Chains A and B, each alone.
Chain A
């Protein structure tokens, strides 16, 4: 899920000041959302460091939590250079445990079961990776550099999530619970790229900062996860169902809670 070159621009942009004024708010919005999602996902992973059903996965959960928090930690300092920065964006060095974050709604609460962990690992983590895969050749070099490094670290996360999907799908007791967890995370993961005409994402594409439009990113995510779900005959109706765009909040880049 990577792209070597983005758009037609070969000019590297090394700093916020070098971004064109129209693209800068869009870059900030995506970096901020990426950072918050990585940060909260890392915290949710960490809560299962001693709760996983296998010792091996408990250690893997700890390692993945470290990875995600590290990724968030690499993005937050970038935000400081943007005029759009808020006070809470710069609290990663103090009070970080209570900093407000705008992550996907399915991460608002602690994972109730291991299947919630696996669903987030499989869908949410993979959605974030799909976007980063389209940013490896970004003209904005601080994003491209991080995307290339993070993609290397994300490979084991995918293997872990996919392995657990297969394992739980084969367990008649766990299977229905896993399907519920997948349903709970599906809409958040697939809407996170924004609608087809999303002004933020399309601005990045037009500026050579991202290789894929929202629909293309959604298709990448679908192509990544659906074959495994079909192989396991798991929640196959999810792939064809519509997304709840009525609950999409463009400003926070997340779905509002269902009423």
Chain B
């Protein structure tokens, strides 16, 4: 889950959620990470990430 608080800030990873479906992930992200008045929040399926440099 990625979010930012200010327009001039980049999206940063704030945490993760486990869900069966994208819409459930949205619900979980919104309820779990509600500690700040975010201006933007997105969830990305882990399977969509492409590793460029592995740890």
| A interface residues (Cβ-Cβ under 8 A, vs B) | 54, 56-57, 59-60, 62-64, 156, 159-160, 163, 166-167
Cβ–Cβ contact A56 & B20, under 8 A: no
Cβ–Cβ contact A163 & B31, under 8 A: no
B30 contact from A57, A156, A166, Cβ within 8 A: A156
CA distance A163 to B27 in the complex (A): 10
CA distance A63 to B30 in the complex (A): 9
Cβ–Cβ contact B31 & A59, under 8 A: yes
| B interface residues (Cβ-Cβ under 8 A, vs A) | 17-21, 23-24, 26-28, 30-32, 34
Cβ–Cβ contact A59 & B32, under 8 A: yes
Cβ–Cβ contact A163 & B34, under 8 A: no
Cβ–Cβ contact A56 & B21, under 8 A: no
Give the secondary structure class of A's interface: helix
Give the nearest-CB partner of A170 in chain B: B20
Residues of B within 8 A of A167 (CB): 20
Residues of B within 8 A of A159 (CB): 23-24, 26-27
Q: How far is the CB of B29 from chain A (nearest CB, A)?
A: 9
Residues of B within 8 A of A156 (CB): 26-27, 30-31
CA distance A249 to B51 in the complex (A): 62
